[in-house]
Amino acid sequence: MTLRSATRRIGGIVLAAGESRRMGRNKLLLPLGGEPLVRRACRRGLAAGLDPLIVVLGHESERVQQALTGLDCHCILNADVGGPMSSSLHCGLAALPADAEGAVIMLADMVNVTEHMLRTMLLSAHTSTALLVCSRYAETLAPPVLFRRALFDELYAASGEHCGKAVVEHHREHAIYVDWPGAALVDVDTPEEFASL
C-alpha cells in the first residue's frame, strides 16, 4: 500500500509570498545545500507524498516560480502582496481539490523541516481521526501543521499573521502531536540567521 493511498489525499500548502523585508532581498531564492530555500521546501514536501503541493507566490513571483522549474507543484498568485499571512493561506486552501481531506501548512523558510518529518505527520494522520497533527519543538508549537478539512472554514474565517495558530489553540484537545528537537525550529529572516546556517 502506498503512502498516498494509505493516508487518502492530503495536500500541502507552502506559503512563499512574503517580501523578505528583514533579509533585504528575497530569502526564498537564497541557496542552501545547492538549491534555493523555496525549492528545498517544495522538494521535501513532494518527496513526503503531499498531493497536490500548492505554492502561494507573491513577491517576485516569476523569479520564485522559475526556481521551482521541474517540480510537480502548483503555483498560484496571492495578489495581496504585503498583506497578512492569512491572505496567502486562504489562497492556498481555495486551490486545493475537493477530494483533499486535509492540508499540511508549511513555511518555505523553515529550513530544517525534512521529508521524514512531513511523512511522519501523514502517517500520524492515517492512524488517527484527530482534527490536527501539530509539530512540537520542545514546548513550542510551530509549522508544519496538518489541518483536516473540517477546520478549513475556521481557517477561512481567521485573519492576520497568526490565523492558523488561533485555530490550533482552539482545538488543542482534538490534536495529536509529533515531537521534534528544539534545534529543528529554525527559520531564516535576517542575513545573520542565514549566515549562521
Residue with cell 502531536: 177
pTM: 0.91
pLDDT in tens, 57-100: 999 999 999 999 999 999 999 988 777 788 999 999 999 999 99
- For residues 84 and 13, what is the distance between their CA atoms, to the nearest angstrom? 16
What is residue 160's predicted lDDT score, i.e. its pLDDT? 76
Cβ neighbours of residue 129 under 8 Å, at least 6 residues apart? none
What is residue 2's predicted lDDT score, i.e. its pLDDT? 41
What is residue 82's predicted lDDT score, i.e. its pLDDT? 74
In the chain, where are the structural domains located?
3-196
- For residues 196 and 134, what is the distance between their CA atoms, to the nearest angstrom? 27
In 3-state terms, the chain is what percent helix, strand and coil (to 5)?
A: 40, 25, 35
DSSP SS3 for 75: strand
* Omega within 30 of 0 (cis) for the link into 144: yes
Cell of 47: 518527496
Cβ neighbours of residue 61 under 8 Å, at least 6 residues apart? 17, 75, 77
Supply φ then ψ for residue 44, to 5 degrees.
-70, -40
The three-point CA angle 103-29-164 to 5° equals 30
How far CA 127 is from CA of 50, 130, 133, in Å, comes to 17, 9, 11
Q: How many alpha carbons fall within 13 Å on the CB side of residue 184? A: 21
CB 137 within 8 Å of CB 117? no
Instruction: Give pLDDT < 50 ranges for the chain.
Output: 1-7
Supply φ then ψ for residue 101, to 5 degrees.
-85, -5
Per CATH, is 3-196 categorized as 3.40.120.10?
Answer: no
What is residue 3's predicted lDDT score, i.e. its pLDDT? 44
What is residue 6's predicted lDDT score, i.e. its pLDDT? 42
Fill in the DSSP letter of residue 174: G
